[in-house]
Amino acid sequence: MSSMNMNAVFPSFSSKLASIEDKVMKIQEGNDYLRNELIEAYQPFIKKVTSKVCSQYIDRTMDEFSVGLFAFNEAIDQYQEGQGSRFLSFADMVIRRRVIDYIRKEVRQNRLIYLQPDEEDEEGRLEESYAEQKAALDHYEEKIQAENRVFEIEEYQKLLKKFGLNFQVLSKHCPKHVDARENAKEIARLLSENSDLSQFLMEKKQLPIKDLLNMVSCSRKTIERNRKYIIAVSLIYLGEFQALKSYIQP
């Protein structure tokens, strides 16, 4: 959606601040009035994202919308400029994750109910009903996980592009030996856990090789040879792509 269209949908936001990112920064500095205004104005966006996750229309009276609302507020507090995505993309991701977590929790609670039937008829019809219900719940949870994975891959591709990378490039620069791959993953993990090094990577779009050499036992040549792969793995950690982490964890 273009900025012109955004102003048409949210006329109160063609105001003093240049962008929604500017507004978020002001809110983080303590402007609660602007926070309330932003949340109110973007309720249609919250409903749209939440409805898409739930595969049904969600209105303001439903628990899922409340989860999405809290998630949008959480996104306001957690957003950092220069982290690789615009605020609405970040908010979209946070809302999806929180709603999915809520749905999974509901699924688990429902499953506990089905696991403790009080009665069973002579023909075992209650057992059959339980099996069908459990299969339906399992299928629904798998569907949610698959949708989340697709969304994360799309967001990850956008983030990679900012670093001049894509899956084709990474396939050519992926270390061939298992030991080399695991070593590169460990370097990426260490980098992601260090706020200064992470900030350097996100701002400069380069590895802080000199600092990394003080933290690991491998050579500069090794780091430089696996530079693109290390960056790619670091972005999975830094982007908090939970579904994608399964591909890089042992």
Rounded to two decimals, what is the model's pTM? 0.53
**Per residue in 210-230, pLDDT tens?**
999 999 988 999 999 999 999
What is the distance, to the nearest Å, from the Cα of residue 3 to the centroid of all Cα atoms in its chain? 24
pLDDT digits (tens, 9 = 90+) for 17-27: 458 888 999 99
Q: How many CA atoms does the CB half-sphere of 65 hold within 13 Å?
A: 15
Q: With beta carbons less than 8 A apart as the criterion, state whether 73 and 79 touch.
A: no
175: CB partners within 8 A, 6+ apart: 181, 183, 184, 226, 229
Give dist(CA 118, CA 128) in Å, integer. Answer: 14
Cα–Cα distance for residue pair 75/27, rounded to 1 Å: 12
CA atoms within 13 A on the CB side of 85: 23
What pLDDT does residue 141 have?
A: 64
Domain boundaries, the chain: 14-162, 167-245
pLDDT in tens, 62-74: 899 999 999 999 9
| Tokens of residue 179, six digits | 């030991």
DSSP reduced 3-state for 147: helix
Report residue 1's pLDDT band, with 50, 70 and 90 as the boundaries. very low
